[in-house]
Copies of this chain bind each other. A is one copy, B any other.
Amino acid sequence: MKADKVVGIIGGMGPAATVDFMARVMDRTPAENDQQHLRMLVEHNPRIPSRQKAMRGEGESPGPTLAAMARRLEIAGANLLVMPCNLAHAWQADIEAASSVPFISIIDASVESALSRSSNDSAIGLMTTPGCFTAGLYQQALADGGRPVITQTADELAALMSLVERIKGGDLSSELVTAVREEANRLVTRGAKVLIAACTELPLVLDESMFNVAFISSTDELAKKTVALAMGCE
């Protein structure tokens, strides 16, 4: 067999996003039968303390739980760690302190793709949740890339959060999809040439075919990079 790596997934944030990530890893893996697919160890824990609340200073930090999950995945045999949740990357330092295997950042994967898919002066529209906005991880990475960023207003962040909560509750209705697209299009109207769906619930309802600008699915970018690294192609 190939000497490819075992992918450890710090999962459950949200539950559907983890399953979507696993499906995208399989879609991106060149495999004709079961045995050619990648091994994954998944700790699917939807009970991790709320990242949004912690970012508002209202709740328990998820850092210790995330660190413990990373450590257990390493002990169980993971050679790479990923976490299909953007906001949870605010606690990446806790994970990296707890584990010695490489951690693939969804922020880095998404920003690298956004930068490579657009010209140097193209503004990038950032669709995210209030917690991830406050964490500022994307704003920092895009600033480091020297790229103008169009962000949501406070009202837009709150509106998108309500829609994300509906997606987490299982609402994938056409009315919901239309509302999420409208939020995305506000950024396009203000000049975004690239949209980053910087919340793993968003690619459950949005895809590139819905927009006339480049669309970056953070889930899919993490899946692509995971497959490349796990198979030793990067």
- As a 0/1 sequence over residues 29 to 67 of chain A, the CB contacts with chain B under 8 angstroms (1 = contact) are 001111111111111111110100000000000000000
- As a 0/1 sequence over residues 8 to 32 of chain A, the CB contacts with chain B under 8 angstroms (1 = contact) are 0000111110110011001100011
Q: Which of A161-195 contact B (CB under 8 A)?
A: 165, 168-170
Residue A143 is within 8 A (CB to CB) of chain B in the complex: no
CA of A202 to CA of B37 in the docked complex: distance in angstroms? 19
**Within 8 Å CB of A46, what residues of B?**
31, 34-39
**Within 8 Å CB of A14, what residues of B?**
34, 37
Task: Tell me whether A42 and B45 are in contact in the complex, defined as CB-CB below 8 angstroms, given that A50-B35, A169-B32 are known contacts.
Answer: no
Residue of B nearest to A14 (CB): B34
**Within 8 Å CB of A41, what residues of B?**
42-44
Residue A76 is within 8 A (CB to CB) of chain B in the complex: yes
CA of A27 to CA of B170 in the docked complex: distance in angstroms? 8
Residue A147 is within 8 A (CB to CB) of chain B in the complex: no
Cβ of A165 and Cβ of B47 under 8 Å apart? Answer: no
Residue of B nearest to A48 (CB): B34
Residue of B nearest to A13 (CB): B34
Cβ of A26 and Cβ of B34 under 8 Å apart? Answer: no
**Within 8 Å CB of A13, what residues of B?**
34
**Within 8 Å CB of A22, what residues of B?**
18-19, 22, 44
CA of A22 to CA of B19 in the docked complex: distance in angstroms? 7
- Minimum CB–CB distance from A17 to chain B (whole Å) comes to 10
CA of A10 to CA of B42 in the docked complex: distance in angstroms? 11
**Within 8 Å CB of A32, what residues of B?**
169
CA of A164 to CA of B156 in the docked complex: distance in angstroms? 46
Residue A1 is within 8 A (CB to CB) of chain B in the complex: yes
Cβ of B36 and Cβ of A26 under 8 Å apart? Answer: no
Cβ of B42 and Cβ of A47 under 8 Å apart? Answer: no
Task: Tell me whether A26 and B35 are in contact in the complex, defined as CB-CB below 8 angstroms, given that A42-B40, A44-B40, A72-B76 are known contacts.
Answer: no
- Minimum CB–CB distance from A227 to chain B (whole Å) comes to 13
Residues on A lying within 8 angstroms of B by beta carbon are: 1, 12-16, 18-19, 22-23, 26-27, 31-48, 50, 72, 76, 165, 168-170
Q: Please list the 3 inter-chain residue pairs (A to B) with the smallest Cβ-Cβ separation, ordered nearest first.
A: A42-B42, A37-B46, A40-B44
